[in-house]
Amino acid sequence: MNRITRKGATVEAAVSAALQQLNMTRDEVDVEIVDPGKKGFLGFGVREAEVIVSIRKTEVQQTTSSIEEKVEKIQEPTLKMTSGPVREEETVVQPIEPTKEIVEVKIEDSNASDQQAISETTAYVKAIAEAMGIDDLIINHEMDGKYITFQLESKKAAFLIGKRGQTLNALQQLAQLVTNKYAGQFKVVRLDVGDYRDRREQSLEQFAERMADQAVRNGRKVKLEPMPSYERKVIHNALSNRLDIETYSEGTDPHRYLVIEPIN
């Protein structure tokens, strides 16, 4: 492509568009103005400028020569490689198999990132606990695939749990963010103090049954207090086998709540 026609809001805009397409500078081309264009008035009578941009002959010759030189350089080793008889064994291509070393390095990197995530999360939770006046906190962890459970132990466990587990839930959300900042793959974090989570789940299941019975007895839906998603899930699961009610969530976090509605 040695010659192109372009239009633009101005002559310079049309020339710039042509130079960009040709990958040339202004002093490497000749410009012929076909129409200088017209600005118009209040949007009426506007006409685009039109130019013809041609690559100068010297530039075309240099470009052609450069391309020919590159082709010769590429062809030269090719001819040398194919000249003369080729022995059969030289044509055999051995498949490249991944080495054990590469696989092992990837596994080590993944483990290293997980260990760093656990270490950073442990340090972060301890720092928050110290700010709360808890200086005897001991943290142990268990990892099962993408799930990591941090077990917290302290004489001031009640401060870590808070009212209805609100403090522990907040700590768990923060720990989740810290863990996934360093982990190689997404992790689900669970913070527990003693057997609080198990006791809380049992309490929620019993509470769910009572509220479901109340909804059926009164014939009206019951709206529960706002809960974190995993606690709403506990209630959903506890009532999933009942055929006389249905459960669903309404609202937006952190004020999202669960509704138990009787089926007439």
CATH number at residue 223: 3.30.1370.50
- In the listed set 62, 77, 97, which residue is the last one of a domain according to the structure? 62
- In the listed set 179, 194, 209, which residue is the last one of a domain according to the structure? 194
Q: What is the pLDDT of residue 61?
A: 54
Closest Cα partner for 155 from 121, 122, 132? 132
The total of structural domains in the chain comes to: 3
Between CA 264 and CA 259 the distance in angstroms is: 16
- In the listed set 157, 178, 194, which residue is the last one of a domain according to the structure? 194
Residue 45: both structure tokens together: 């009578």
Element (H, E) at 210: helix 196-218
Whether residue 240 sits in one domain with residue 220: yes
Query: What residues form DSSP beta bridges with 140?
Result: 151
Q: What is the pLDDT of residue 136?
A: 93
98, part of any domain: no
Q: Positive or negative, the Cα torsion across 181, 184, 188, 193?
A: negative
The model's pTM: 0.52
Whether residue 165 sits in one domain with residue 123: yes
Whether residue 207 sits in one domain with residue 181: no
Whether residue 161 sits in one domain with residue 186: yes
Whether residue 187 sits in one domain with residue 116: yes
Whether residue 202 sits in one domain with residue 165: no
Range of the domain at 128: 112-194
Whether residue 221 sits in one domain with residue 184: no
pLDDT tens for the chain, residues 1 to 264: 577 888 888 888 888 888 877 777 777 778 888 888 777 655 556 788 888 888 776 554 555 455 455 445 544 444 344 444 444 444 444 444 444 443 343 434 567 788 999 999 999 999 999 999 999 999 999 999 899 999 999 999 899 999 888 899 999 999 999 999 999 889 999 999 988 999 999 999 999 999 999 999 999 999 999 988 889 999 999 999 999 999 999 998 878 999 999 997
Sequence-ordered list of residues with C-beta below 8 angstroms from that of 49, at least 6 positions apart, any chain: 7, 8, 9, 10, 11, 13, 14, 33, 35, 36, 37
Q: Which single residue is written with the structure tokens 């997404």?
A: 186
Whether residue 116 sits in one domain with residue 188: yes
136, part of any domain: yes
Whether residue 232 sits in one domain with residue 183: no
